[in-house]
Structure 1
């Protein structure tokens, strides 16, 4: 309830305020891939996730990782669509995965903090998949969703879905203390993963930054903010 009520009620409160002002033509809502991907469907290499996927609350409640966060995002987006359809709101949702990239704020956000803790938190590198979005791509998508007249519906915003071993190898090359080689050297960094469609996001004009650039700039930002030793 600590996560679900604020997520759902907070979203609806904003939308209710928008209804009161005729000058609000469109609402762009920051959602999450958590509201897309948790539905019991297999995430095998032949699968392409797209905007037609919706997370199922039943599977969210049984999700092993951050289940209340996943459920809150799912219920909040579901409530937003119902309200928008019932009140004639032109709603667009942006659904990013783990957001990385340069930090603006002085504190760590959860998904960037995960970069610092990978060497401790990831037990089975072989079976771990990492999906991420660069914060600059996420920001661009929000602006484009507002400004492009034809934008509509949901937008999955995932720059990369890659084996965790590849991410750890890149991070080790950038800053050896982040990921010691023994954590990833026996894994296969080229193993295929599921995919997330970028077609609709690219139609907005989003050009996804390379994974290496996002990770490099994340590490540089962590050093600048004092979270990593130079």
Structure 2
């Protein structure tokens, strides 16, 4: 990948899991980064960013809110590109889907794109979407199916299954494409599965809570189609940067290292940690045959070389052990 010396980019939702790792890599590659958070005075949101190598010289923090029009203008102004990662992430215990998830995601994305439109310097926008916007449909229930970038999650099916996070990502991506096509914005979308690996944030996010749930309970609210689709954060960061730096990058890129039933994830863990006793799975999750697979063809053409899933799972578990979230002998 080419270096980023002399290039200025904006990263929204900078305190998040993907965004923090993305910023660290961008700084290491020589980029100047203008990063947005909802509260620049919150040490849990910004201290880990300020501590990064190169941050003192090439990181600027801006306060912005998805629900506040034009609040991203200052951060986006003068940037060559924008990585829009900011979006609420809530998987369960959702009381008001419209307020908690859908409105910030769906209204916030065009808000950021309007700021990009007002800045003549922005050449490309890379949007962090999700496989939640791809695979949550009736086709995904077929155990022998292979999903690719042409797939779309069905809003009606998301509502029927109360997959509110999936609905928010589906509607937000649709809003982004509609806005980009109407206003001539060069938009590339990254659609990762459940992101695992090492986290830079001081407070663990809900992604790790769900991964812990798989390990300790044998169930997961995110397995809406019976499978867990995993990808390493290093692969996600690589895909974002390649999508920005490669002029031929276009459309969507599905990003999955492995698509596994919960029981298969736990089998890998058992092989890695044979002395660790896992509680039994709640149900037989392989009744539908093979787990839904995700095509890697397009994203590999971009240059992404996936971390082996066993390595990703091991690094995630070791990280959780270091944070005292998991005890494994």
TM-score, normalised via structure 2 length: 0.63
Unaligned runs of 5+ in 2: 1-97
Instruction: Figure out how many residues of one structure are paired with residues of the other and give that number.
Output: 224
Partners of 2:243 and 2:198 in 1: CA distance: 22
> Could you tell me which residue of structure 2 aligns to residue 225 of structure 1?
323
* Aligned with 2:254 (options 156, 171, 178): 156
Q: Match for 2:209 among 109, 113, 116? A: 113
CA distance in 2, matches of 1:106, 1:171: 25
- Structure with more contact order per residue of length (Cα contacts < 8 Å, sep ≥ 6): 1
CA deviations over 1:150-177 (Å, ceiling 9, x no partner): 0000000111012222210222344555
Identify the residue that residue 18 of structure 2 maps to in structure 1. none
How far residue 42 of structure 1 moved from its aligned partner, in angstroms, is 4.2
* Structure 2 match to 1:22: 120
Q: 2:186 aligns with which of 90, 94, 104?
A: 90
Structure 1 match to 2:16: none
Q: Secondary structure of the equivalent of 1:10? A: helix
SS across alignment from 1:41? helix
Taking the aligned partners of 1:74 and 1:178, their CA distance within structure 2 comes to: 38
Distance 1:195 1:74 in 2: 19
Q: 2:285 matched to 1:179?
A: no
Contact 1:171 1:178 in 2 (8 A): no
In structure 1, stretches of 5+ residues that fail to align are: none
Asked if the contact 2:129/2:189 (under 8 Å) is kept, the reply is yes
Q: 1:183 & 1:68 partners in 2: Cα distance?
A: 24
SS of residue in 2 equivalent to 1:155: strand
Report deviation, 1:56.
1.6
Task: String of CA shifts for 1:72-110, please: whole Å, max 9, x gaps.
Answer: 111100000000000000000000111111111122222
Q: What is the distance in 2 between the residues matched to 1:52 and 1:178?
A: 41
Kindly state the Cα deviation for residue 229 of structure 1 after the two structures are TM-superposed. 3.0
Correspondences of 1:1-230 after superposition (within 5 Å): 1-2=98-99, 3-64=101-162, 67-118=163-214, 119-122=216-219, 128-175=226-273, 177=276, 179-180=278-279, 182-183=280-281, 192-229=290-327
RMSD (Å) for aligned C-alpha atoms: 2.5
The aligned counterpart of 2:5 is: none
Q: 1:178 Cα deviation (Å)?
A: 6.9
TM-score (norm 1): 0.88
Structure 1 contact 174–219 (Cα < 8 Å) conserved: no
Task: Assess, with a 3 A threshold, how the Cα gap between structure 1 residues 193 and 187 changes in structure 2: closer, same or farther.
Answer: closer
Aligned partners of 1:110, 1:178: CA distance in 2, in Å?
A: 24
Distance 2:144 2:264 in 1: 20
Give yes or no for contact 1:161–1:195 (8 Å, CA) kept in 2.
yes
Q: Equivalents in 2 of 1:152, 1:23: separation in Å?
A: 19
